[in-house]
A and B are shown apart, each in its own frame.
Chain A
Amino acid sequence: MKWVTWENVGIDRIGCAWMILRNIDPKATFVFIPRGTAIPPDAEPFDIPDVRFSHHGGHCSFHALVDHYKISDPVMHRITRIIDEADTVQAVNIEPAATGLDLICEGVRLISPNDHAAIELGKQVYDALYARLALESGQTTAGGDQ
C-alpha cells in the first residue's frame, strides 16, 4: 500500500513509518508531499491534519495507528506514550526519553539527504529503542538499572 505524509519528517512521522512497516504493512511505500498540498487519492495519509491517522483527542498520530490497528504489544504502548509526551502538550510527563528522542529524530532528518533516507535511519533508532524497552516489559516500574 502507498502511504503519504508531509515532508521533513520528525519523531511522530518517523515512528509511524517504522510501525507501519513493522506491524501493519511490510510492503508499504512512502510518498512525502510539501506541507499543505493535496493528498494523492491513491495513498493513505498519516500525520496530516484532519485525516484519520492524525492527532486526535490530544494524542499523536502514532497513537491513532496503534489504536486503529489494535496493537496490543506493551512495548509499542510505551513508545506511544514517549511520542505523545514529545509531540503533543501533555499535563503529565513521565517519560524522560521523550525529549531526547525528539531531538534525535530532528537530527536524523538533518543528516539525511531526503525523507526516504531519514525513515531508513530512523527505523534503526526505533528498533534500538524498542530493543531496550523490551528488556523492561513486564516490569511495573521503568528503568531498572538507572
Chain B
Amino acid sequence: MKPWLLLVYRIPREPTAGRVFVWRKLKQLGAIAVQDAIWVIPQTHRTREQFQWLAAEITELKGEALVWDAEQIYATDAESLRRQFTEPVEAEYREILAALKKKSPDLPSLSKRFQEAQTRDYFASEFGRQAREKLLAAAEGSP
C-alpha cells in the first residue's frame, strides 16, 4: 500500500448542503487540503475505504471526483506534510496528559477524548502511548 491517498473533486455550487456534507466528512477524517488544491490523507485500510465511498457520494451529488494511491517523490520540506497530521493529534494528547496531572481529573471524558484522538493518529504518536499509560495508571489510582 502506498503511503498517501489523494482526492480532487468538483461539486455543483448548489445545493450548498452537498458541498458542506463533503467538506465536513473530509475534515472529520482529518484530511488536509494541500495548497487548497488537493486533499491528502495517510493511507490505511479505513481511509482508503472512506475516500472511495466519499468519491462515489460526490458522483451521486452530480460532482466529479478522482482518487489516487500516491507516493511523495519530492517536497520542499519533506516532513511538512506528515507534521500537518501529527501536530494536531499530538497537541490533543498533550492536553490530555496535562489534564491528568491536575487534581481529580475527569477520567471518563478524558478517555473519550483519547479515543477520538486515536482515530486520527495515523503515525502511532509517542504521546498517544504515554496518554494511554497515564490514563490506565490514573484508573488504577482512582477509588
Contact = CB atoms under 8 A, between A and B. Distances in A.
Whether chains A and B associate is yes
B21 interface: yes
The secondary structure that dominates the A interface is loop
A54 B56 contact: yes
A85 to B, nearest CB: 11
Contacts of A106: 45
Interface residues of B, number: 15
A16 to B, nearest CB: 14
A50 interface: yes
B28 A58 contact: no
Most buried by B among A10, A55, A106: A55
B21 A58 contact: yes
Contact of A56 (B28, B49, B60): B60
A55 B28 contact: no
B129 to A, nearest CB: 19
Contact of B24 (A54, A55, A91): A91
A112 interface: no
B85 to A, nearest CB: 16
A56 B57 CA distance: 7
A33 interface: no
A87 B60 CA distance: 18
A88 B21 CA distance: 13
Contact of B56 (A55, A87, A89, A91): A55
A145 B54 CA distance: 37
B55 A89 contact: no
A54 to B, nearest CB: 7
A100 interface: no
Contacts of B59: 49-50
5 interchain residue pairs of minimum CB distance: A49-B56, A55-B53, A89-B28, A89-B25, A50-B56
Interface of A: 10, 49-50, 54-58, 87-89, 91, 106
19 contacts: A10-B49, A49-B53, A49-B56, A49-B59, A50-B56, A50-B60, A54-B56, A55-B53, A55-B56, A56-B60, A57-B57, A87-B49, A88-B50, A88-B53, A89-B25, A89-B28, A89-B29, A91-B24, A106-B45
Interface of B: 21, 24-25, 28-29, 45, 49-50, 52-53, 55-57, 59-60
Given A50-B60, A54-B56, A89-B25, 5 more contacts: A49-B56, A56-B57, A56-B60, A58-B21, A106-B45
